[in-house]
Every structure is written in C-alpha cells, then in structure tokens.
Amino acid sequence: MKPVLTFAVMLALVLPARAQVYKWTDADGQVHYGGTPPAADRPSQTLDIQSQPTPEGEVDNVSSMRRATRELRELRAVNRGVPVRELDRPRSSRRKKNTPTHIGYEDQAKIDNLNSDIRRLSSSTLGSASSRAREIHAAKSELRQIYRKYGIKPP
C-alpha cells in the first residue's frame, strides 16, 4: 500500500466524523433518510449525526493489517528475486538477480525470442521428438553464449 493511501485511511479511522443526514416524508407518509437533500418541493429536516468512536479491537486490526501488508510485501519481493533488505530502497535502485541492465537491446530481443522458441518447442507435438530436442539444445546453447558474453549465470 502506498504511504499516502495508508495515511489517509489511518486519518479517516482516527478523526471523528460528522455526517449531515436529511429526513423527509414522501406523499405516502413514509419517512426517508438520505445523504442528499430531497427534491425542492419536499420539506426536509437536517440532522447532524456524529459517528461512534472506533472500537478498541479495530485499532488492533489496523496494526495487524500493517504487519500482514509488510509480510506480503516481503513474500512478493522474494518471489521477484529482490532481497528483503532492499525493500526500503527506492524501486529504481533495485536490480533483479541475473538481469543486468547492461544487456544490449539486440541481445535482449534475441534472449526473449530464444526463450519463446524453447517454450514453443517444448509444448509442440509437431515433427519428430529428436528434431525438437536438437532445436531446443541449439537454442539453449545460443542462450548460454549470450549470457557468457555478459558474465552472468544462465537461469
């Protein structure tokens, strides 16, 4: 959750709220309550209603919600390959493992295409199994060469 949104939610929970409610009676004699004023031809009464204080347990829910949010954030970071200690650093200064920013555009496009070819060949049933295996082996070999060129360990 973004800090501004978290602050806004906390502020809304803490500050006592006042609501203006309109009360009016329709042509059938039924009493209605609403947050918007009725039509101009209907006489209405304005009621000021103060909200009830936040129950004690709800404050505990906020702190447990913060703790759960932090744990979820840490789990997502681990899944993305970002070390937990880097969570407090700005996102722009973080780097995923094995994904250096210095891979050239052409090589990155080639990596993407080779990975796509490997996925396609792995799930295909067309052609002979041995020819698909040779193509997959060749694509993986080409990937290893590109990664070696940049000094990174292939995934």
Contact between residue 31 and residue 37 where contact means Cβ atoms under 8 Å apart:
no
- Residues of the chain with confidence (pLDDT) below 70: 1-19, 47-60, 81-101
Domain count, the chain: 3
Predicted pLDDT of residue 152? 82
Predicted pLDDT of residue 125? 85
User: Same domain, yes or no, for 126 and 139?
Assistant: yes
Structural domain span for residue 60: 56-93
- Tell me, yes or no, whether 5 lies in a domain: no
Which among 142, 80, 84 is positioned nearest to 111, based on CA atoms? 142
User: Same domain, yes or no, for 25 and 61?
Assistant: no
Contact between residue 77 and residue 84 where contact means Cβ atoms under 8 Å apart:
yes
Other CB atoms within a 10 A radius of the CB of residue 44 amount to: 16
Contact between residue 20 and residue 46 where contact means Cβ atoms under 8 Å apart:
yes
- Tell me, yes or no, whether 9 lies in a domain: no
Coil/strand/helix, residue 49: strand
Predicted pLDDT of residue 137? 93
Phi and psi at residue 135, in whole multiples of 5°?
Answer: -65, -40
Q: What is the pTM of this model?
A: 0.36
Give 4-14 pLDDT, tens digit per residue. Answer: 656 556 556 55
Give 12-44 pLDDT, tens digit per residue. Answer: 655 555 567 778 788 888 887 777 777 777 777
